[in-house]
Amino acid sequence: MPDKNRLRRAVLTGTGTYLPEKIVTNADMALQVDTSDDWITERTGIKQRHFAAPHETAAFMGAEAGRRALEAAGMAPEQLGAIIVGTSTPDQAFPSTAVHVQAALGATNAYGFDIAAACSGFIFGLSVADAMIRSGQVESVLVIGSEVYSRILNFADRGTCVLFGDGAGAVLLQARDVEKDGAGLLSTHLHSDGRLAEILYVDGAVGQPDKPGHLVMNGREVFRHAVTLLSGAVNEALAANSLTAADIDWLVPHQANKRIIDGVGKKLGLPPERVVVTVDKHANTSAASIPLALAAAVADGRIKPGQIVLLEALGGGLTWGSALLRL
Ligand code: COA
């Protein structure tokens, strides 16, 4: 007889990151673009970003972050069940970034695929991984966000090129039978609204003749929607788990802009000491931003086992969503 008090959950057992070696400060940006450290800092909270060298592709960085997450969990690559990579900047249209990561890791028994949900890619990946684990299909999933936005930035557009950076973050999720109030992913909530596609997009793709594409954004419109939609997704997560903001130990938001992060924190009534912020160091790394921030706060001991962590993201699509987990 199965024990009714125990549940099969996806439990986070390891995190890992990779950041390109090259750091570009706001002062460095001001040498090539008509901008200033003051403007960027005041509007976004960004102080620097990492830009990838040619060999630092989404697959390369994703594999490095994934390797570190496996090592942190003490899992051999051959034991891994699946790999999901959230990316908008894959090495190739196909095969997926995830299978390149698989080969680099030697994860010979895993299957892999990519998720295209822009900056929400990691949350969407977590949600799919959670369903795969809960259904009993796999015992472990490496969920990675890996992005090289420096390759799609239009450096003639100062309104966007100063906002983004490159990097990768990974988490390992493993199936565990836990008590109801034990560790694991508690819920995920996903949304998209394709009617808002034109406020944040890439104006090209491999499917279009001679048009690899650059990122285009109506920053004001994105900002206008961000706090409302993110607060909605966060409240949905709380309601679904019969929790209030007071129960949340840490908010780990998508790192797009300090003003959006502060806006959501304020609406939730969370003090800034319980919000993880890395946008100053990494800028917006799209699907990589949440796992980079989460891993940083786990590594420096801020986020501890047993704590409740709320994740939220919004990106091109628009896509947005939240995930709630207990470490
Ligand atoms: N440096 C200096 N000046 C800049 C600049 C830069 N990098 N980028 C734009 N400006 C100028 C504009 O040209 C404009 O000048 P003008 O008034 O002389 O025309 C002025 O700053 C204001 O531009 P605007 O675009 O209206 O600024 P804003 O207050 O909306 O801030 C963003 C711009 C991008 C910082 C802001 O809209 C934002 O954060 N949006 C959300 C973006 C985001 O997070 N996207 C990702 C979501 S996943």
Q: Nearest C-alpha to atom 40 of ligand 1 is from which residue? A: 219
Residue 240 has pLDDT above 70, yes or no: yes
CA of 219 to the centre of ligand 1 (A): 6
Domains in the chain and their CATH numbers? Answer: 6-179 (3.40.47.10), 184-326 (3.40.47.10)
Which of these, 232, 226, 303, lies nearest to 257 by C-alpha position? 226
In this prediction, what percent of the chain has a pLDDT beyond 70?
Answer: 99
Q: What's the mean pLDDT in 210-226?
A: 93
- The answer to whether 281 and 165 are in contact (CB under 8 A) is no
Maximum distance among all Cα pairs of the chain, rounded to whole angstroms: 68
Query: Is the minimum distance from the CB of 26 to ligand 1 under 6 angstroms?
Result: no
- The answer to whether 44 and 163 are in contact (CB under 8 A) is yes
pLDDT band at 210 (very low <50, low <70, confident <90, very high): confident
Per-residue pLDDT tens over the stretch 93-122:
999 999 999 999 999 999 999 999 999 999
Query: Is the minimum distance from the CB of 222 to ligand 1 under 6 angstroms?
Result: yes
- On whether the pTM is more than 0.95, the answer is yes
Q: What is the pLDDT of residue 2?
A: 66
Task: Give residue 41's identity as a one-letter amino acid code.
Answer: T
Residue 108 DSSP one-character state: T
Residue 288 has pLDDT above 80, yes or no: yes
Q: What is the pLDDT of residue 206?
A: 80
Per-residue pLDDT tens over the stretch 251-278:
999 999 999 999 999 999 999 999 999 9
Q: In the structure, how many helices (H) and strands (E) does the chain have? A: 10, 13
Per-residue pLDDT tens over the stretch 124-151:
999 999 999 999 999 999 999 999 999 9
CA of 262 to the centre of ligand 1 (A): 17
In this prediction, what percent of the chain has a pLDDT beyond 90?
Answer: 95
Q: What is the pLDDT of residue 1?
A: 61
Ligand 1 atom, smallest distance to 316 CA: 48
Per-residue pLDDT tens over the stretch 171-186:
999 999 999 899 999 9
Number of other CB atoms surrounding residue 131 within 10 Å: 13
Residues with active-site annotation: 119, 254, 284
Residue-wise DSSP of 150-195 = GGT--TT-HHHHTTB-EEEEEEEEEEEEEETTSSEEEEEEEEE-GG
CA of 235 to the centre of ligand 1 (A): 28
The CA-based angle 239-240-244, given to 5 degrees, is 35
Ligand 1 atom, smallest distance to 259 CA: 39
Q: Nearest C-alpha to atom 38 of ligand 1 is from which residue? A: 219
Q: Nearest C-alpha to atom 10 of ligand 1 is from which residue? A: 159
Strands 82-86 and 111-115: parallel
Pocket residue to mutate for ligand 1, from 39, 43, 261, most atoms within 8 A of Cβ: 43
